[in-house]
Structure 1
Amino acid sequence: MKSYIKQIIEDNKKREQQYALERKAEIDNPKTLDNRRDFLKKTALGGISLSALMGLSLSDTLAETTSNINRYSNPTDLKITDMRYCVTSVLGRTAIIRIDTNQGVYGLGEVRDGADPRYALMLKSRILGENPCNVERVFKIIKQFGGPARQAGGVCAVEMALWDLCGKAYNVPAWQLLGGRYRDKVRLYADTPEGTSRQQQQERIKFRTETQGYTWLKMDVSIRDIMDTPGCIVNPEILKANPNAYHRGDYMAYSNTKHPFTGIQITEKGLELLAEKVEDIRNMVGWEIPISTDHYGHIDLNNCIRLGRALEKYRLAWLEDMVPWQYWQQHKTITEALETPTTTGEDIYLLENFKALIDNHAVDIVHPDLASSGGLLETKRIGDYAEENGIAMAMHQAGTPVSFMANVHCAAATQNFLSLEHHSVDLPWWEDLVKLTWDGKMIEKGYANVPLTAPGLGIELNDEVVKQHLNPSDTSYFEPTPEWDEKRSWDRTWS
């Protein structure tokens, strides 16, 4: 334990030295604005006297030494002074941001997987000088710059960082700021592992459920699995035209063509093969474990209903994103035609855009991604509104431990929560990207532990590990971003 504390002290010293060098470089930079330069000259990075920590418990010591909480002024005097970022290689490309303040305390947020960190950086000039503890005020300043899916990545990253920062400033967990918690552990769902043979897959599923302890799984039931088998798909031409463009194809590629406009249909033979795949997994997993499904392909609502009916006997936990979320009427048609629960929501931004689905009972479960839905408070609002209408909430998550822990706090504070996605179960270094500021494990036997006392999100970055897993396209690490300091537009949306 003593060696660990020594390492923490050494890490803090290195961080302070690096910050001092960055401060001097920013002061000397001719592009630095005068007011920013004056601020840097007048302020100094404060630290905690580690000798004052000798009488603290293990969890309190870890919280104090790893969260950079300074006590030089009241939280009401906090001001946002900077925003910086790094881009990790998690899921190809996932950016983490850091919001700094005049008291040394900072907050961590995450731009959704695959999104550009500039979605967050463009917001910097709009939040400089604001008190980060006024989370809702700052959110209302920037919410107009969010949009569906990854377009909301910047706004949500800032909102996450504000709750982390506010929790550190007041020395309470983020869930407490959301109104308290309903649970101490958050149930997770994980991908169903595949294998080169049925025996290997069965062994991997056994490892997932018995050794790793996951009690909820999700699998793909995709037309891609049958596209090369003759007689399974009508009109496969659009699907095969650009096979490498599934996520990032050109504008007219299959991947960017909404479901009603592809003309693809599944034949009876195709339905039988997809049903056999689900039956095989159900037999390997057993009937006690819920199995959710996803990624069917861009097929219209008629084929969605036919597929749903072919799978009903396997008692699936849900059918996810069968058609684009914007078509709430089609979701309602599918939901009313099937006994299997339906869900959508990972690309929906703000409660106001969930309301049509919820008010019309177009789905049985809402499925927001906190990194797109508006952040912690907005996602809790979505869950609460759904609960009032008799609808449950599961949570989509595919990112670093930063957004993962933001989801954990939100899930702990929302009553109608079912399960949270963990998309990096088999990435061996994923948990090592952060250090916990509390005494415990992040994940145990398929559940995430809720930090009961640690302030903010309950994590700090493990700098050396993160640096080992940066995206090759941008290996910078929280370097100064003065080019984003100046606001150059009038943002009011009404006259």
Structure 2
Amino acid sequence: MKITAAKVIVTCPGRNFVTVKIETDEGVHGIGDATLNGRELAVASYLEDHLIPCLIGRDPRQSEDIWHYLYRGAYWRRGPVTMSAIAAIDTALWDIKAKLADMPLYQLLGGASRSGVMVYGHANGRDIEEACDEVARYREMGYHAIRAQCGIPGLDSTYGVSGDKLFYEPADADLPTENVWSTEHYLRHVPKLFEALRDRFGFEPHLLHDVHHRLTPIEAARLGKDLEPYRLFWLEDAVPAENQEAFRTIRQHTTTPLAVGEVFNSLWDCKTLIEEGLVDYIRATVVHAGGVTHLRRIADLAALNHVRTGCHGATDLSPVCMGAALHFDLWVPNFGIQEYMRHTEETDAVFPHAYTFENGYLYPGEAPGHGVDIDEDLAAKYPYQRAYLPVNRLRDGTIWHW
């Protein structure tokens, strides 16, 4: 069996997605997600100009060897562009292998470890009252776990707060918009949000919160300690994680569970965090962490250290990534939770999929492969549109972490 062709499909049904389609001489094809929010064309070029020419004629069943060929065979390793490109190819190869076996991907990985995948949604509001009402709406939709964000008095805009409450997309402009950030305002206000949520909903729903890399380690430690009475499921991305050791400071001061990793692209980005037990959930994704092959290795190391998975699942990951992630989630022994931001109707039409949502859980379905395909004719009707994520500045004009 040989790979006969591979191509990159860039489409924008409301936001940009990059998809790889690999074809074989036996008529079986596989697809993978290569989307890198705000840098989509960089990955597309890396695939078309450097990786795809190396695939033609190879046996698609040799996914392990191909992964190492693309990773070890490149002098310049790692990085989000490289690993997203490798991930797309790896995901497509797993899709092909599962189709050849005539089984859903989770069976090829080792079978189901649970009956469904618990997911969390995003509730946000301009103020605490509106955020509480949105949490109530997500509860009515069946969610057992909900991420809560609200506007901060004194700031014109805040991460995670949007006009559209269901299809939040932060890449919002042809050139980066600039937001103003104040750590002082934020730290004073966030505990009030979770006090109000627990007063209204009690301790039955799981509540999560995303700091989005805005704090220093000691500031994050203070926030974690202030939130302890409200028993969060996790506090996400409290500090930028390039310095993994920074989490030691947070860990020394709070028992609030910590989650990080959506921007990680290899095992080395989280090795210290996992081995020293500095986080409770690792949020690396299929598309940005080298595909199913590499994410399995991250999960295995995490399992040895009582760390569970909590894969990123925002709208900048296509339904292809979500489908692959759900098969991974259903199998992985140390599963924690899966983020689930719903795609628009236009996106769902471009990417027909087998996964379904019911009562707070996602189910990957029983279709052979990862259960997601692409309608190329429909995709062609949505050309690429440049879009950037915002940037942050402190009130004195200093560039801050996005």
Q: TM > 0.5 between the two?
A: yes
Match of 2:323 among 392, 405, 413: 405
Q: Which residue of the partner structure matches residue 389 of structure 1? A: 305
Aligned pairs for 1:187-206 (under 5 A) are 187-194=118-125, 198=129, 201-206=131-136
Matched, 1:105 2:28: yes
Q: Which residue of the partner structure matches residue 360 of structure 1? A: 276
Q: Kindly tell me: are residues 364 and 79 of structure 1, through their superposed partners in 2, closer, same or farther at Cα, counting changes over 3 Å?
A: same
CA distance in 2, matches of 1:346, 1:247: 24
Q: Which residue identity lines up with residue 336 of structure 2 in the other structure?
A: L
Contact 1:345 1:367 in 2 (8 A): yes
Matched, 1:170 2:101: yes
Q: Which residue of the partner structure matches residue 431 of structure 1? A: 348
Runs of at least 5 residues in structure 2 that lack an aligned partner in the other structure:
157-170, 388-402
Contact 1:346 1:367 in 2 (8 A): yes
Cα deviation, residue 157, structure 1: 0.7
The range that moved more, 343-352 or 102-111, is 343-352
Cα deviation, residue 183, structure 1: 2.0
Matched, 1:312 2:228: yes
Match of 1:377 among 280, 293, 299: 293
Moved over 6 A (4+): 244-248
Structure with the greater alpha carbon radius of gyration: 1
Describe the superposition over 1:237-262 as per-residue Cα deviations: whole angstroms up to 9, x where unpaired.
xxxxxxx9999769xx999xxxxxxx
Aligned pairs for 1:44-443 (under 5 A) are 78-89=1-12, 92-114=15-37, 115-116=40-41, 117-121=44-48, 122-144=50-72, 147-194=78-125, 198=129, 201-210=131-140, 212-220=141-149, 225-228=152-155, 266-267=183-184, 270-296=186-212, 298-398=214-314, 399-424=317-342, 427-436=344-353, 442-443=356-357
CA distance in 1, matches of 2:252, 2:142: 34
CA distance in 1, matches of 2:294, 2:345: 32
Contact 2:218 2:249 in 1 (8 A): no
Cα deviation, residue 110, structure 1: 0.5
Match of 1:471 among 374, 384, 393: 384
CA distance in 2, matches of 1:99, 1:82: 6
Cα deviation, residue 461, structure 1: 2.4
Q: How many residues get paired?
A: 363
The range that moved more, 387-396 or 82-91, is 82-91
CA distance in 2, matches of 1:147, 1:283: 45
Q: Which residue identity lines up with residue 346 of structure 1 in the other structure?
A: E
What secondary structure sits across from 1:82 in the alignment? strand
Q: Kindly tell me: are residues 208 and 466 of structure 1, through their superposed partners in 2, closer, same or farther at Cα, counting changes over 3 Å?
A: farther
CA distance in 1, matches of 2:207, 2:346: 26
What secondary structure sits across from 1:371 in the alignment? coil
Describe the superposition over 1:250-306 as per-residue Cα deviations: whole angstroms up to 9, x where unpaired.
9xx999xxxxxxxx8744x65332222333344455421111111355331121122
Contact 1:331 1:362 in 2 (8 A): yes
What secondary structure sits across from 1:225 in the alignment? coil
Describe the superposition over 1:203-258 as per-residue Cα deviations: whole angstroms up to 9, x where unpaired.
54333222x2111111347xx834539xxxxxxxxxxxxxx9999769xx999xxx
What secondary structure sits across from 1:305 in the alignment? helix
What secondary structure sits across from 1:431 in the alignment? helix
CA distance in 1, matches of 2:123, 2:131: 9
Q: Kindly tell me: are residues 383 and 131 of structure 1, through their superposed partners in 2, closer, same or farther at Cα, counting changes over 3 Å?
A: same
Over aligned residue pairs, what C-alpha RMSD do you find? 3.1
Sequence identity of aligned pairs in percent?
25
Structure scoring higher RCO (CA < 8 A, sep ≥ 6) equals 2
Q: Which residue of the partner structure matches residue 458 of structure 1? A: 371
Q: Kindly tell me: are residues 248 and 367 of structure 1, through their superposed partners in 2, closer, same or farther at Cα, counting changes over 3 Å?
A: farther
Describe the superposition over 1:106-138 as per-residue Cα deviations: whole angstroms up to 9, x where unpaired.
101011341332233231012221111111011
Contact 2:214 2:240 in 1 (8 A): no
Q: Kindly tell me: are residues 178 and 92 of structure 1, through their superposed partners in 2, closer, same or farther at Cα, counting changes over 3 Å?
A: same
Cα deviation, residue 102, structure 1: 1.6
Contact 2:313 2:338 in 1 (8 A): yes
Q: Kindly tell me: are residues 123 and 176 of structure 1, through their superposed partners in 2, closer, same or farther at Cα, counting changes over 3 Å?
A: same
Length-normalised TM-score, structure 2: 0.80
Cα deviation, residue 349, structure 1: 2.0
Q: Which residue identity lines up with residue 401 of structure 1 in the other structure?
A: P
CA distance in 2, matches of 1:197, 1:330: 30
Q: Kindly tell me: are residues 228 and 351 of structure 1, through their superposed partners in 2, closer, same or farther at Cα, counting changes over 3 Å?
A: closer
Runs of at least 5 residues in structure 1 that lack an aligned partner in the other structure:
1-77, 230-243, 256-263, 475-495
Q: Kindly tell me: are residues 219 and 99 of structure 1, through their superposed partners in 2, closer, same or farther at Cα, counting changes over 3 Å?
A: same
CA distance in 2, matches of 1:247, 1:423: 23
Cα deviation, residue 462, structure 1: 3.8
